[in-house]
Chain A
Amino acid sequence: AQSVAQPEDQVNVAEGNPLTVKCTYSVSGNPYLFWYVQYPNRGLQFLLKYITGDNLVKGSYGFEAEFNKSQTSFHLKKPSALVSDSALYFCAVRYYGQNFVFGPGTRLSVLP
């Protein structure tokens, strides 16, 4: 069965520094990969997705993610973190005809 790992429960980064939130998935093949962000007391918001094509995808709020098929990874990145980026981030994977599987989430704290 497919699964998603987010190996870090918590990521701390200083404002202005680059950030990375890691995601790996279990099943190789041709996945659809997504990142969502959850702010306190709010629903999940879509950030970006990889379907096919260019391995580097750009999304909302200056975030980007790189699909690496050989490492089955889809790490989320941002060149310069903002305090307002502090939130809970979820990686999700889906294969055609199957359900979405979400990772456990990574809490990002950007320190001023």
Chain B
Amino acid sequence: GAGVSQTPSNKVTEKGKYVELRCDPISGHTALYWYRQSLGQGPEFLIYFQGTGAADDSGLPNDRFFAVRPEGSVSTLKIQRTERGDSAVYLCASSSSGLAGYNEQFFGPGTRLTVL
């Protein structure tokens, strides 16, 4: 079956520009997570959706970062006024339910963002 997909796979942008990263989770998965992974580090939590609502956005580093999931399926991570420090691989994951806490996540291949 189809797994989690993310587009684009690579994104190169200039400092100060706006970018959108898309995640298409596994069909029927109600929980969706965004992470950021820098080289040599583990994934760092950004935001978690349960259905359409952001259940926890405590990991977003600042107000330049925003994410939506309007219909409870596809999610878009939006970064305004990009900075060189935003360069990383952005990972999306989904699971069948986020509330119980013990369901494993299924990860997408990631979007590699490079800010020049």
B88, CB-defined interface residue at 8 Å: no
Q: Is the CB of A96 within 8 A of B42?
A: no
Contact mask for chain A residues 45-73; partner B; CB cutoff 8 A; 1 contact, 0 none: 11001010000000000000000000000
Interface size class of B (residues with CB under 8 A): 20 to 34
B89's nearest neighbour on chain A, judged by CB, is A43
Whole-angstrom distance from the CB of B58 to the nearest CB of chain A? Answer: 7
Chain B residues whose C-beta falls within 8 Å of the C-beta of A41 in the assembled complex: 109
Is B43 within 8 A of A90, CB to CB? yes
The dominant DSSP class at the B interface is loop
Chain B residue numbers with a CB within 8 Å of A42 are 109
Q: Is the CB of B102 within 8 A of A105?
A: no
The chain B residue with its CB closest to the CB of A99 is B45
**A94 and B101 within 8 A (CB):** yes
Residues of A within 8 A of B59 (CB): 99
User: B106 contacts A46, CB within 8 Å?
Assistant: yes
A44-B93, A92-B42, A99-B58 given. 10 additional CB < 8 A pairs? A32-B101, A41-B109, A43-B108, A44-B105, A46-B106, A99-B48, A99-B56, A100-B43, A100-B45, A104-B41
Binding site for B on A (CB under 8 A): 4, 32, 34, 36, 41-46, 49, 51, 90, 92, 94-105
The 9 A-B residue pairs whose C-beta atoms are closest, nearest first, are: A102-B42, A43-B107, A44-B107, A46-B104, A32-B102, A96-B101, A51-B102, A43-B109, A99-B45
